[in-house]
Amino acid sequence: GETAFPNLDIKVKPEKGAVLIWPSVQDSDPTALDLRTEHAALPVLRGTKFSANLWVWLGPHMPAHQLNCVQSPLAGPAKAAAKRPDGTEDGGTGAADVADQGGHVADREL
């Protein structure tokens, strides 16, 4: 259940009560992705892993396609925005499709 950062050749083992925090942008240019922080959750080999995500935005949050953001190379091909049951869009992540099926959005495998 480690968190792997392949561009840094680092794997962090989960520890009870620990928190792992990192920025996804460059210090010198907060509008530029720091590709070193691309990461993936590796399979849990023993026991159970619980996690929670907290996203902190540098400014007002808008779907990436409205900000003309470039998709990370490790994210795979971009999808068109999907409509949620309430009529809102998921911004092209496909999360609405998965959530509608009762599932969750999984991290990409390395």
Q: Where are the domains of the chain?
A: 1-59, 62-102
Mean pLDDT of the region 13-37: 90
- Phi and psi at 107, nearest 5°, equal -70, 150
pTM over 0.75, yes/no: no
78 has a pLDDT exceeding 70: no
Quick one: what percent of the chain has pLDDT higher than 70? 57
Structure tokens belonging to residue 78: 């971009």
- Rounded CA-CA distance 1/12 in Å is 9
Higher pLDDT, 23 or 81: 23
